[in-house]
């Protein structure tokens, strides 16, 4: 009987271990692409929201108005706006409490902004570790399927006592498909991980810079309100 040498035929006729490997790699690829598209939308939305907020912030508008606008944002503020909202809320709270020096007020503001920044960065980094895991392990999973397919090929050669192409071609072909599927799952995951990790780091640098600049502005406001 002639073996079906199409890709689908080889997948259907592959040994059980190789089929399991291929199913695992297909599942990993689906998860990877799902994370890639979701993360792309999230990072783009966060960056656009931060750009929009930063433009409004440095336009010289009233901070209370900006705070109210951030608080009323549909779905909640994100990115830089959330850091601003947290810092300004702590600023007003510390001033209303009274008895705080400008240094104490700013310390409270910084603490609130650091917490907000950590949450924002954690939200952006979510599932990046999964991409890294898929990218690093998929080639080895595919390699296992490759080794198994080649082992089956040698076993068939031994049992048939001949090394004709008809005997060795199907198991070697399925072994190569396992390798290709491992790379297909790994390469996009690695590229996406590196790209998105870099974007998250760049946003984190922007958050750090904004926190420092906003802290200086709040410190001047605190001194002005307390007449120091």
Where in the chain are the domains? 7-226
Query: 76's torsion region: left (phi>0), alpha (psi -120 to 50) or beta?
Result: left
Torsion of CA 189, 191, 192, 196, to 10 degrees: 140
Output the 3-class SS for 83-117. HHHHHHHHHHHHHHHCCCCHHHHHHHHHHHHHHHH
The pLDDT score that the predictor gives to residue 198 is 95
Write the CA distances from 22 to 53, 174, 180, 186, 196, integer angstroms.
Answer: 46, 10, 10, 13, 27
The count of other CB atoms within 10 Å of the CB of residue 208 is: 14
Q: What is the pTM of this model?
A: 0.81
DSSP state of 14: S
Cα distance between residue 3 and residue 47, in whole Å: 53
The pLDDT score that the predictor gives to residue 19 is 80
Taking the chain (228 residues) in consecutive chunks of 10 residues, what is each chunk's mean pLDDT? Answer: 53 72 90 95 92 88 84 78 90 79 85 92 92 93 84 72 63 77 92 95 93 89 70
DSSP state of 78: -
Cα distance between residue 172 and residue 169, in whole Å: 5
Cα distance between residue 57 and residue 81, in whole Å: 9
- What is the residue whose two structure tokens read 């001949």? 162
């Amino acid at each position: 009987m002639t073996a079906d040498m199409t890709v689908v035929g080889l997948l259907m006729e592959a040994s059980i271990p190789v089929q399991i490997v291929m199913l695992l790699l297909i599942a990993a690829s689906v998860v990877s692409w799902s994370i890639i598209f979701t993360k792309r939308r999230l990072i783009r939305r966060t960056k656009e929201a931060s750009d929009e907020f930063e433009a409004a912030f440095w336009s010289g508008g009233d901070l209370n108005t900006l705070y109210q606008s951030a608080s009323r944002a549909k779905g909640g503020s994100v990115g830089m706006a959330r850091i601003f909202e947290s810092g300004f809320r702590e600023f007003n709270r510390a001033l209303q409490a009274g008895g705080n020096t400008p240094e104490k007020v700013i310390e409270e503001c910084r603490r609130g902004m650091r917490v907000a920044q950590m949450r924002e960065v954690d939200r952006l980094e979510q599932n990046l570790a999964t991409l890294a895991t898929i990218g690093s392990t998929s080639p080895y999973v595919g390699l296992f399927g490759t080794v198994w397919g080649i082992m089956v090929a040698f076993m068939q050669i031994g049992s048939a006592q001949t090394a004709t192409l008809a005997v060795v071609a199907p198991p070697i072909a399925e072994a190569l498909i396992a390798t290709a599927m491992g790379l297909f799952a790994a390469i996009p995951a690695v590229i996406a991980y590196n790209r998105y990790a870099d974007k998250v780091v760049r946003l984190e640098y922007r958050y750090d810079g904004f926190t420092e600049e906003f802290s200086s502005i709040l410190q001047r406001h605190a001194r002005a309100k307390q007449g120091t």
